Amino acid sequence: MLPPDTGAEEIEDLEEGGDKPSGSSRLVIYLVMGSLLILFVPLYFSATTIRTINVQVKASLEALQATLSSTPPVDPRLESLSSTLSVVQVQSNALQSISSTLEAIHISWPQIMAVISSFNPGQMSVDAVSQSDKTITISGTANEETVVMAYAEMLRQSGFFDPVAVEAISLRILPTLTPAPEPTLAPDMPTPTPATLSPSKVADFTISVVVKKGESQDG
């Protein structure tokens, strides 16, 4: 309430002063509005930029996910060639294994027997040849021990066997044959030449040889 002595003019002045702000008050309001505007503009542009970048990143991510999830079509020719290659590789590995096995166990028997038969029949004879895996045992008879040793050295030098071992040599005395009586010849008939005497002893021998593993026997 107004004091009782307040006049009409003073009341009017107070009412006018309450309705209209002073100049300093209006300046403060303008400054506050300007500050808010200055803060709002960068925030607006920042939000707009972030939304734009977000849209671009989302689009790129969707495209990348679609690329990763999609399976490119396989060329039928490439698929056929791949299957053929797999089959060929399996066959090649199998053939290589078989080839290694055959090479390891291969023995050229014609050449082996030709070497074993390379002896002088007048000096020795081969009575038996036995084979177990790559080991060959040769048994026979020779006129002398030196003939057996020379034969073993020939086998060693042939290049087909390693090692060559003389397992046994035993001398055997041959029975003495009683000579037949000489027939009576007429005086005018020539005297016959006496027969060559057979050796009185022989050497029985046993030789073992091992065919070289993987040795090429083609020449």
Residues 49-68 have pLDDT tens digits of: 888 887 888 888 888 877 77
Do 140 and 206 reside in the same domain of the chain? yes
Q: Residue 216: which pLDDT band, with cuts at 50, 70 and 90?
A: very low
Cα separation, 44 vs 46, in Å, equals 5
Model pTM above 0.75 = no
In a domain, 192, yes or no: no
CATH at residue 124: 3.30.1360.100
DSSP state of 7: -
More confident call, 183 vs 126: 126
Do 204 and 115 reside in the same domain of the chain? yes
Do 41 and 116 reside in the same domain of the chain? no
Annotate 74-85 with DSSP letters as a single string: PPHHHHHHHHHH
pLDDT tens digits along 124-179: 999 999 988 889 999 999 999 999 999 999 999 998 998 999 999 999 988 875 55
pLDDT tens digits along 85-116: 777 777 666 656 545 554 555 677 888 889 99
Please enumerate in sequence order all residues whose Cβ is within 8 A of that of 205, keeping only pairs 6 or more positions apart, or say none. Answer: 139, 140, 141, 142, 148, 166, 168, 169, 170
CA distances from 101 to 80, 97, 113 (A): 32, 6, 23
Q: Residue 206: which pLDDT band, with cuts at 50, 70 and 90?
A: very high
The count of domains in the chain is: 2
> Which run of H or of E encompasses 28?
helix 23-69
pLDDT tens digits along 113-124: 899 999 999 999
Cα separation, 79 vs 38, in Å, equals 66
What domain range is 29 assigned to?
A: 23-64
Domain final residue pick, 33, 64, 95: 64
Q: CB–CB of 107/134 below 8 Å?
A: yes
Q: Residue 218: which pLDDT band, with cuts at 50, 70 and 90?
A: very low
Cα separation, 116 vs 126, in Å, equals 9
Do 133 and 206 reside in the same domain of the chain? yes
In a domain, 78, yes or no: no
